[in-house]
Structure formats: C-alpha cells, structure tokens
Structure 1
Amino acid sequence: MSEKWPVEGSAAKMLQNMLSAGRLAHAYLFLGPEDFGMKETAIHFAKGILCESENAVKPCGNCASCRRVDSGNHPDIVWLEPEGQTIKIQQIREVQKTFALKAMEANRKVYIVTRAEQMTTEAANALLKFLEEPPTPVVAILIANRKEGLLPTVVSRCQIIPFHRLPASAIQNALQSEGNSSAKARLLAYVKESIGSARKFSEYEKFAEIVNLVVQLSEEISADRGNPLLTIQDKISKPGWTQEDVDSFLDCLAWWYRDLVNAKLGLTNRIVYENQISRIQSQAATHSLGDLVQMVEIVLSAKRRLLSHANQQLALEHMVLQLQGE
C-alpha cells in the first residue's frame, strides 16, 4: 500500500501514474502558487523515485530508502534554494560536482530546485547544460510560482506539472481528516488558501495566540474600550514578532472583518470564524456595511505596507487608528 500524497489532485495522480509505470522524465517543473504543497509533493515524489520496494505502487514508506527520506538525510536527494535573493551559478556547479560521483545508494539521484525562477541567467544556463548532459541517472524537480521567470529553454526541457488551487472546502476536509477540529480547519482553509500553508499554520506555535489577539483587538475597537494601541505594543512589538507572525495575524484579522461584512449581509453560512458567530454578529451591528468593507481594506493595506518594508510598529499603529476611525 502506498503512502498518501501531501496534496491530492491531478498533479498527484500524474506523478503516481509515472511512478507506477516506471516511466520517468529527466526533469519536471512544478508550477503553482506559493505554499501549495509543491515542496512536500517534491519530497514525496523523490521518495517514490528512490523507493526500493518491488511493488508497482510507490513510495512504500517502509523500505530503508523511504525511511531515510523521512529522516531528511538521504544522500541521493540534493536541495537547491536561493542564497539571499537568487540561485547563483556556483550553487549549480556544486550540484554538478556532487552528481559527477556515482550515486551512493540508488540507481538515480534527485535534485530539487525551489523558487527556480530566482536563478540568475548564468545559473540558468549552467542548469540547462546539466539538464541536457547529466553525468549520472538524475531526475530534476524545479519548483516555481511562474514560468515566465525561467529561461524558455529550461522550461522546454521539463515536463510541466501544474498545481491548481483547491476549493477551501476540500482543504478543510483534508485538515479535519488529519485531526483538526471543524472550526480550526475552516479557519485555516480560508485564511491560508492552500493545503501546504494551512498545514504549516495549524502547527504554528503562535496560532492560538494570533486568533486570541484578533478577537481581543476587534472587541476593543468595536466596543471602544481598552487601549488597542497598547495591546499591539504589548502583544506584538514588545515580544518582537517576526514578519511571518505579523503576516499571519493580518491574514486572520482581515478574515475577521470579512466575516463581519458577511454577518451584516445576513450570510452567516459564509462566516469563517464559525465558533465566534455571536460575537461577530454583535460587532457587525455596531458598524455600517461601508465601514466594515473599509476596515477589510485598512488591514490589507497595512499588510501591503509591511511587504514594502515599512516600519512594523508604525504601520500597525496606523492601522489601529484607522480602524478606530481616527
């Protein structure tokens, strides 16, 4: 029996069929939005390629090779990721040097290039030569958000595996099947929009803290009590939250105000924070529909400013003041 693929769908079916048939291309290009489980799928595919089981359906998950992939130390899988903002030619040369040696434990080697569109032109040309003339049996897996950032000649050497956005309901069902509650799975599915990022956020140590802060801040703003600016300072600025922490907080806060919009419109079936419906309806009653729509945009605008490297504390304080109507 084979292991379950990290992301179910057409991409997984295509890759499983190739493994079962034993017909592998020398290079694949995984294309899709960021955090769509492409890295996890690449690992699973590599595990299937290197699997030692005699069964047609791979990976088995039990053989020595599969266990080494799971432990993260299989010698015949090499990762290539950007150093800083780009993948440089020296990184490609290092992989070429490594693969010039005979595969240690398998008939094939696998190298996985994440954010492949961030290769420099020199690195892309070196990779192209490597794709055309690999020194040993090699399978390349390139992962990119858009193929326009890649050399057309590199794209032409790869079999493209498209990753499509899954419906939120499908992500929610998958998360629930993994042991998450209905309320948590629904929130994760809508806030993060992809199975990969939703799974990652579900295991995030600050998940509960972020959701609690969303509720607290929205209550202080709606009821005009407490000190929302002090709350931001005490909960985010003083503890020194990372950019990723703040991004996730703003994602959750934006969905909270979207829920207020849906509550105002009577669309309770669309509310994402399903275990907070009474509080959401109560808050929605204190604002006009126009104000609520504007509040969603205020949060999204703060996120855009932070992505443009604005000062974190000033951007969050400005957001709070705007949410208060000041």
Structure 2
Amino acid sequence: MAKNWQDLASYQPRVIKLLANSIQKQRLAHAYLFEGKRGTGKKDIGILLAKSFFCENLQDYKPCESCKNCKRIQSGNHPDVHIVEPDGLSIKKGQIQALQEEFSKSGVESNKKLYMIIHADKMTVNAANSLLKFLEEPNANTIAILMTEQYHKILNTILSRCQLLSFQPLQPKSIEEALIESSIPKHLAALVSQLTNDTEAAIEIAQDDWFAQGRLKVIKLYEIVVNRKGQAPIYVHTDWMSHFNDKDKQETGLDLLLYIYKDVLSVQLGNEEQVIYQDLIQQLKQHALQMTQRSVTEKITSILEAKKRLHANVNPQLLMEKLVLTLQEG
C-alpha cells in the first residue's frame, strides 16, 4: 500500500516537516543522505519526495497520486527516476558509471532527474569516488538521495556534499498501527511493537506461528507461577524449554514474560492504557491487588537479571527453574 505524507508524518515528523518546507519554497537540496535503522521509512519517503518533485498537479507540497508521473513512480517505471541497489554484496563502480551515463542524456519526460542509492554504505571505494565527481558537479534539476543504516561507513567527502536527514526509530504505537493495518490481530500487534522498531521485522514476527504459540506459553507460565506455584519448574521442563529452544528464542520468552509483570505494575500505577496484554486486563487487575508494587518491581528486576545471565553461558533450563522459583515468592 502506498504511504502518503500524512502516514509518514506520524513516523518521521521532523524529516517530513523539513522536506515539506523545502518543496514549498522550491529549495530542495541537490543531494540528501537519509540515515537511520532499517524499517524507519527511508525508501517510502524517498519515493514520496520523487512524486512531489515530478508531480504535474502538486498540492502545496503533496503529490496528487493520480497524474501520469505519480503513477509511474509508484509502479517503479518512471524513466527519469533511477534506483541503485547493491549487486550482490556491494554497489560497484560500473553501476555508478551506468547511472552517470543515464544522467548525461537529457531527461526523457522533462529536464528533471532523481536517483536513489539504497545501502549507500555498500559502495566500493571506486564506486564512491565515481559518485563523488557526480555530487561535486550537480546538474540543475537533479536530486540524489543516498540511504544508509550505517552512517559511519560513508566517506566524509560524500557526507559533506549531502544534506543529512536522520530517521528516528519508530515508536511502538506507530508500529502497532502499521501491524493492525496489515491485518495482524491487536493483541499480537501490541506485543510485537515492543520487540522491534522495524515495521518489516515486526510483520515477520507477528505472522510467525512460533511467536503466537510462544505468547500463549508465556501466559500459561505466568498463570502457573501466580496460581499453582509448585508446578512452575515442571512446566519449564515439559513445555517451556522445547519451545524456547535457543538463546534468541529464550530471550524473546523472557521479554514476553517481562511485559506481563510491567503490565501489572502499570495497573498498580493507574496507567491501564499502557497495558500491552489488553486481553488479560481483568486477570492483571486482580493480580495487581494481590501483589505489592515493591514485589512486582523485584520480579521485573529478577527477569532482567535472568536476561543478562542468559548471555553468560548459564544453563538455560537451570536459569529458568531458578527464575520461576524467585517469581513465586511474595
């Protein structure tokens, strides 16, 4: 689904405001470097900027989305918009030279041209030097958008010729909304949005049946710890370890458990709207009355300690058995 300026303004308000101003004042830079983690909307905003640049019926700073140029950019076949991505592990000199050749011809549709270099940090030294010449002598009406997740790997000589726009990690609320739009059930969306600030990764996690099953196992363990104390170590042995069967999965399991106890604390502090496990809210309210704030805080600390120890090569089963015994106290 095509993202519009309004969608992206909720993800990256600062970036959108700056670009909107530049479009309105017709002061777009000839080269931008979009820098930020994967999934923060860099390419979506690059495509939107291209539409605004070429749009035949620009409305303020927003593209009309219905003219010939907007439609061709959306479908990826506008002759004056070029996207360069790594060929294998790197962007090679030949790719940049081919781009320069394209740009030495006059624009097919107009005198404007725009190119995007995705993963610009993966340019070979020769490719980067080729690009440098290109950036040093910009053609009028040409815009370059370089994108990177590894800002520190870009040559200083290239950095100095680009306007840097930093993309912030997405807030959980934005990711949750994007997941719900992608038909992910709300109870899963709320939880996954806490685990990553990359929308694409979040969708992958939420669609994985292992995750949905894991969430149920975490809830079950929590209920056993609260209501059937003696059975928690047995449950770890019979059910938990076979599902959370490597370090990454065990860490995810601990995170999911941590969020339940954080939810109990949110209820105790009167912040019910912050509860992630909204489908458990009645149980959580009941448990919030049965535990002191101090006891919940201690349980949260013990889970965080277990997460730390997981990376110190402790036996994960013993670690979990010890943790559930600690959680059962108080």
Whether these two folds match at TM > 0.5 is: yes
Normalised to the residue count of structure 1, the TM-score between the two structures is: 0.72
Aligned-pair identity (%): 28
List per-residue Cα deviations over 1:226-263 (Å, max 9, x = no partner).
Answer: 44444467xx9xxxxxxxxx97x678545313214425
Instruction: Tell me the distance in 2 between the aligned counterparts of 1:201 and 1:152.
Output: 33
The letter for the 2-side match of 1:216 is: K
State the Cα deviation string for residues 132-165 of structure 1 (Å, max 9, x = none). 2356742110112353321111111111222234
Residues 86 and 54 (structure 1), Cα distance of their counterparts in 2 relative to 1, 3 Å cut: closer
Distance 2:156 2:24 in 1: 30
User: Residues 271 and 205 of structure 1: is their aligned pair in 2 closer, same or farther, counting only changes over 3 Å?
Assistant: closer
Equivalent-residue separation in structure 1 for 2:284 and 2:242 (angstroms) = 22
Aligned position for 1:294 = 305
Q: How far apart are 1:53 and its partner, in Å?
A: 1.5
1:19 is displaced (CA, Å) by 1.9
Following superposition, the deviation at residue 175 of structure 1 comes to 6.3
Say whether the 8 Å CA contact 1:6–1:44 is kept in structure 2. Answer: no
- Structure 1 vs Structure 2 CA RMSD: 4.0
* C-alpha distance in structure 2 between counterparts of 1:255 and 1:177, whole Å: 24
Aligned equivalent of 1:323, options 320, 323, 326:
320
Matched, 1:98 2:102: yes
Q: Is the 8 A contact 2:52 2:62 kept in 1?
A: yes
Asked if the contact 2:46/2:145 (under 8 Å) is kept, the reply is yes
- Structure 1 SS opposite 2:8: coil
Distance of 2:320 and 2:77 partners within structure 1: 49
Q: Deviations over 1:287-317 (max 9, x none)?
A: 9555422344467x49xxxxxxxxxxxx9xx
Q: CA deviation at 1:15?
A: 0.9
Whole-Å Cα distance in 2 between the matches of residues 229 and 204 of structure 1?
A: 20
With over 3 angstroms needed to count, the CA separation of the structure-2 counterparts of 1:203 and 1:45, relative to structure 1, is farther
Aligned match of 1:267: 266
Over 3 Å counting, the alpha-carbon distance change for 1:74 and 1:279 in structure 2 is: farther
AA at the equivalent of 2:216: V
- Deviations 1:58-90 (CA, angstroms, capped at 9, x unpaired): 311111111112222223222222334432222
Q: Is it true that 1:115 corresponds to 2:115 in the alignment?
A: no
Question: Per the alignment, do residues 72 and 298 of structure 1 end up closer, same or farther by CA in structure 2, a change over 3 Å counting?
Answer: farther
- State yes or no: 1:33 paired with 2:29: no
Cα distance in 2, alignment partners of residues 144 and 66 from structure 1: 25
Task: Give, in whole Å, the separation in 1 of the partners of 2:141 and 2:127.
Answer: 21
Segments of 5+ residues of structure 2 without an aligned counterpart are 226-231, 324-330
Out of 155, 168, 175, which is 1:151 matched to? 155
Deviates more, 1:197-206 or 1:144-153: 197-206
Offset of 1:29 from its aligned partner?
1.1
Partners in 1 of 2:243 and 2:172 — Cα distance?
A: 31
Against the structure 1 CA distance between its residues 288 and 201, is the aligned structure 2 distance closer, same or farther, given a 3 Å change threshold? closer
Q: Who is 1:305 aligned against? A: none
User: What TM-score, normalized by structure 2, do the two folds share?
Assistant: 0.71
1:187 and 2:188 correspond: no
Q: What is the alpha-carbon distance in structure 2 between the residues aligned to residue 325 and residue 179 of structure 1?
A: 38
- The structural deviation recorded for 1:177 is 8.0
Match of 1:45 among 41, 46, 49: 49
Secondary structure of the residue aligned to 1:79 is strand
Q: Which amino acid aligns with 1:211?
A: A
Give the deviation of 1:7 after TM superposition: 2.2
Name which of 137, 152, 164 aligns with 2:168.
164
Distance across 2 between alignment mates of 1:69 and 1:103: 15
Mapped contact 1:27–1:157 kept (Cα < 8 A): yes
2:328 corresponding residue in structure 1:
none
Alignment match, 2:220 = 219
1:24 to 12, 18, 28: 28
Counting only pairs closer than 5 Å after superposition, residues 116-135 of structure 1 correspond to structure 2 as: 116-134=120-138
| Aligned 8 A contact 1:256 1:273 in 2 | no
Structure 2 residue 207 is matched with structure 1 residue 206: yes
What per-residue deviation string (whole Å, max 9, x for no partner) do you get for residues 8-34 of structure 1? 101111112222222221101112233
Instruction: Give the aligned partner of residue 66 of structure 2.
Output: 62
Amino acid at match of 1:210: F
Q: Structure 1 residues 270-279 or 7-16, which shifts more?
A: 270-279
The residue type equivalent to 2:108 in the other structure is M
Q: State how far apart, in whole Å, the 2-side matches of 1:199 and 1:86 are.
A: 22
